[in-house]
Structure 1
């Protein structure tokens, strides 16, 4: 796995490197050299323009420009001030070095001159605003960002695309849209989430020193980015020596007269994700409708109230069904009523793996008066428990219903409030969003995000079914549940990519994602390095 550090913690790594003899000056020269190497690797370098800011990010750009110039590349630096007027000592030194080496420099050009320069430029190096930036870019950087984005040139950003927050992944104004981002030392959360997904392009980590890995781990990563090989230990390779019972059984509990489709999608997803036997328990009025549409999955009709949701008579029946299954998913389309709140509360008391999604989460919010982090005794159990909130549901769970988490880092903070209050390894919160975090008590795992095609109604119900199926199929320890959930997210995301190829990025629906789940898992398994199966490296 690749570590991800908060921006503030990156400073600890830099300080640690200076203590072992790698100075900030040396780091800047190594960073600039790394950028220059990636520019050369891009090929077809007729001319390169390097846009530099006033801090150390700009210093990296000056070093890259001098390195490229020394290799015979036609390079021009665009700077807001003359090298002599740069206030930062180190950035001023490297700027004057580049100037003395003969690098062409354009100082504070007007917009039309920037447009003219870019019209003849093949590659732009964006070294304007670094990881310490937050807020809205000011002149001249806002003008330069707009011109770069409109130029059509290939763009390489240094550390983070200018205008993007490396911490949150959000941009208050326009930010550079890069083809490649060379980020120094370690990944930052903003590069992997929200606007960062569109802005960064291909991300290359330049560690800069052999001690970086050790110092990064000592700095306590906020999360870990999963690689496919990290999933080998949580999911056994395919085998012919199975039957429907050994592949696990899943109970899906949900539905109401208002929302009939959600539990159907969750149940179908669990089946497509490899569970050997799936049962769907729904309120009695909707059972005939669902039975007519689902041939492969048994549908059980449970007592319902006048509102079309589960009545109190269903509570014990659901618990008894769950005890006979390998894993249970509760919540899709269930609505919030006294009966459904009772169903969720009773399922939390069972001793089988449980996934709580959608209205199941809203029932927990009702049980805890929107403060699940203050009622750990409700969630604490021996068997695995996975909560799968999107950001608005997560906000309701921790008293932030009016200001739900707006970024990946904020979502991880909210999820940790719940997980750390519980304190046990049995609980994992899958904080869903444009980038998702699978947060356990000891680790947060970031799966590779899926495509925009996942942003469609019912997609979350599908993911709930996949996670339930993986829990039913696997025999992992509680400590490995975040990794297992991350794999489920990646299968879900890859299925979204397959569906988008078939129906278009805006045309794919949840049922299309369901149909692609088996193909997605097979494709990912082929890329995993199962030690005993000769998997691809």
Structure 2
């Protein structure tokens, strides 16, 4: 696992390092050297341009420029002001050191000159705006960012691509599109989500000091980036003695006359994800249509209203069905009505692993008047419960329907309101978005995000089915629930990549994901096994 720290916590780590004798000056020199070394590895440059801001991030750039020069690289440091006019004491000192060492300095260049410098360089180092940046880049940095993005040069960003918020992952205007980001001390949430996913390129963490790991852990990471070896033993290994019952059974509850396809996709995904037996319960009005499409999966017709949604009479039947299954998923396509709210309420009272998705979540919002965190008793149970909201659904659950979470950190805060009000390890909120967080009362896991191809109708129904199948197949304790959910998200992401290769990145539909689930799981398991074997050899 890799720790992820909020920006304020990064400052605490920096203060902790100074307390143990690692000065800010030493940190700046190590950061600049780390950036220079990564630039050398990336581009093997003969010529480089370093774009320096006016703060400590710019100081890192001046150090990087001097380090590159010492390695025989022709370096131009671009700065808004002369080195002796830089207001920050430390940044001014390292800038003047680079000047004395022979780094060529270009002060406030016109656009044409900067474009010429970049066209002649092999690598550019972006050290303009650091982790404290918020808002919109001002001149000259807005122009420099535009020039950098318009060039063909390979770009290394120091700590965070300039123009991007390292906390939220959002860019209010243009930001640097880096090939590589060298971030200091620990990962930050904004590098992993939203605009950060496209802006950062590859990410390298430079710890800078041997005490960093301890101080980062003491800072209480806001989340953990999952590594492949974290998924070892999440699922019970397959055996030649397995039968369909040993592989677990899944009940899918959902559908309506308006949305008959959603529960079918969840059921097919559960089957493709290895559940031995899948049953689909739908309103009687759509049962014939659904049954005609589901050759391998039994379909049960339940009482419904005239509008094709579940009636209140379906609640008792659904609870009885769920009690006979290993795991249940409820919500895809079933709409929100008094009857569907009753169905969800009945399932929450059953002692079986449960995944609540889509309209199942909206039923909970209606049941709690958009204040789920005020009704913790609703979610308290002895068996696993996984909620899978996207940001809009998450906002409705906690009273933020008008201003849903707009970033990964905001989504994690909203999810924590739910899990902390419940207080039990049996609950996990899978907050879906450009970066997904699997949040429990103890930790938040960030699985590797999938491709943009996942942004298609029905993709969430597929994920719900995968999670339900893995709950049915697994032998994990409640404490490991977010790891299991993160694993399911990564398989879902791999399926998106496989589907995109087959049909094209913009052509993927939900059924394409379903067809790729098995191959995706095999590929991920191969990587997990390789990672674990590699660790064993190193140890």
When normalised by structure 1's length, the TM-score is: 0.99
Mapping 1:5-84, distance limit 5 Å: 5-84=5-84
Provide the secondary structure at the position in 2 that maps to 1:383: coil
User: Are 1:295 and 2:295 matched, yes or no?
Assistant: yes
* Residue 529 of structure 1: how far off its partner (Å): 3.0
Counterpart in 2 of 1:286?
286
Counterpart in 2 of 1:232?
232
* Residue 113 of structure 1: how far off its partner (Å): 1.4
User: Are 1:249 and 2:252 matched, yes or no?
Assistant: no
What is the alpha-carbon distance in structure 2 between the residues aligned to residue 535 and residue 336 of structure 1? Answer: 49
Q: Deviations over 1:351-375 (max 9, x none)?
A: 0000000000000000000010111
User: Are 1:213 and 2:223 matched, yes or no?
Assistant: no
Mapping 1:391-410, distance limit 5 Å: 391-410=391-410
Q: Deviations over 1:223-251 (max 9, x none)?
A: 00001110103223333231111111000
| Native 8 Å contact 2:357 2:388 kept in 1 | yes
Counting matched residue pairs gives: 537
What is the alpha-carbon distance in structure 2 between the residues aligned to residue 536 and residue 502 of structure 1? Answer: 35
What is the alpha-carbon distance in structure 2 between the residues aligned to residue 207 and residue 71 of structure 1? Answer: 23
Q: Which moved more, 1:37-46 or 1:495-504?
A: 37-46
Distance 1:193 1:528, change over 3 A: same
The gaps in structure 2 that reach 5 residues or longer are none
What is the alpha-carbon distance in structure 2 between the residues aligned to residue 456 and residue 530 of structure 1? Answer: 32
* Residue 534 of structure 1: how far off its partner (Å): 9.7
Mapping 1:83-122, distance limit 5 Å: 83-122=83-122
What is the alpha-carbon distance in structure 2 between the residues aligned to residue 106 and residue 314 of structure 1? Answer: 74
What is the alpha-carbon distance in structure 1 between the residues aligned to residue 416 and residue 532 of structure 2? Answer: 36
Counterpart in 2 of 1:326?
326
* Residue 313 of structure 1: how far off its partner (Å): 1.1
Provide the secondary structure at the position in 2 that maps to 1:224: strand
Q: Deviations over 1:312-341 (max 9, x none)?
A: 111100000000000000000000011100
What is the alpha-carbon distance in structure 1 between the residues aligned to residue 42 and residue 120 of structure 2? Answer: 17
Counterpart in 1 of 2:501?
501
Counterpart in 1 of 2:261?
261
Provide the secondary structure at the position in 1 that maps to 2:344: helix
Counterpart in 2 of 1:468?
468
Counterpart in 1 of 2:357?
357
* Residue 535 of structure 1: how far off its partner (Å): 10
What is the alpha-carbon distance in structure 1 between the residues aligned to residue 163 and residue 446 of structure 2? Answer: 24
What is the alpha-carbon distance in structure 1 between the residues aligned to residue 533 and residue 100 of structure 2? Answer: 59
What is the alpha-carbon distance in structure 2 between the residues aligned to residue 106 and residue 532 of structure 1? Answer: 49
Q: Deviations over 1:24-71 (max 9, x none)?
A: 110110111111111111234131000000011000000000011011
| Native 8 Å contact 2:229 2:531 kept in 1 | no
| Native 8 Å contact 2:431 2:439 kept in 1 | yes
Provide the secondary structure at the position in 1 that maps to 2:529: coil
What is the alpha-carbon distance in structure 2 between the residues aligned to residue 69 and residue 531 of structure 1? Answer: 38
| Native 8 Å contact 2:76 2:103 kept in 1 | yes
Distance 1:536 1:465, change over 3 A: farther
Counterpart in 2 of 1:431?
431
Counterpart in 2 of 1:366?
366
Q: Which moved more, 1:383-392 or 1:110-119?
A: 110-119
Counterpart in 2 of 1:529?
529
User: Are 1:304 and 2:304 matched, yes or no?
Assistant: yes
What is the alpha-carbon distance in structure 1 between the residues aligned to residue 281 and residue 535 of structure 2? Answer: 39
What is the alpha-carbon distance in structure 2 between the residues aligned to residue 436 and residue 238 of structure 1? Answer: 28
| Native 8 Å contact 2:170 2:190 kept in 1 | yes
| Native 8 Å contact 1:365 1:396 kept in 2 | yes
What is the alpha-carbon distance in structure 1 between the residues aligned to residue 123 and residue 132 of structure 2? Answer: 24
The gaps in structure 1 that reach 5 residues or longer are none
* Residue 120 of structure 1: how far off its partner (Å): 1.0
User: Are 1:511 and 2:515 matched, yes or no?
Assistant: no
* Residue 420 of structure 1: how far off its partner (Å): 0.4
Provide the secondary structure at the position in 2 that maps to 1:450: coil
Counterpart in 1 of 2:452?
452
- Runs (4+) of structure 1 exceeding 6 A deviation are 530-537
Q: Deviations over 1:57-113 (max 9, x none)?
A: 000000000011011100100000100000111000000000000100000111121
| Native 8 Å contact 2:500 2:506 kept in 1 | yes
Counterpart in 2 of 1:417?
417
| Native 8 Å contact 2:329 2:465 kept in 1 | yes
| Native 8 Å contact 1:344 1:360 kept in 2 | yes
Q: Which moved more, 1:152-161 or 1:116-125?
A: 116-125
RMSD of aligned C-alpha atoms?
1.3
Counterpart in 2 of 1:141?
141
| Native 8 Å contact 2:234 2:483 kept in 1 | yes
